[in-house]
Amino acid sequence: MSKKCEICGKESLKSASRSFSNKKNVHRQEANLHNVRAEINGQVKVIKVCTSCLKKGKVKKAV
């Protein structure tokens, strides 16, 4: 399964840290994803959701 939010589509980014000699060290910044039991169309499913979607209330958690 991909590292992507199933609500907003947020995924990992490519970024680089720079040394004093301006050399690039490229790495990936992963999205902050959590597996959440959510109610979707009346069914309970486990989906990957980023924390910003959880804070905004875009996901209704299953009880």
Q: Residue 59: which domain range? A: 1-63
Which pTM was predicted?
A: 0.77
Q: What's the CA gap between 1 and 29, in Å, rounded?
A: 17
Structural contact between residues 33 and 48, judged by C-beta atoms closer than 8 angstroms:
yes
Residue 47: CATH number of its domain: 2.30.170.40
**Residue 63 has what pLDDT?**
82
pLDDT score, position 8? 95
Q: β-strands 43-50, 13-18: how paired?
A: unpaired
pLDDT per residue, tens digit, the chain (63 aa), is: 689 999 999 999 999 999 999 999 999 999 999 999 999 999 999 999 999 999 999 999 998
Task: Please state the domain count of the chain.
Answer: 1
Q: Can you give the pLDDT at residue 1?
A: 60
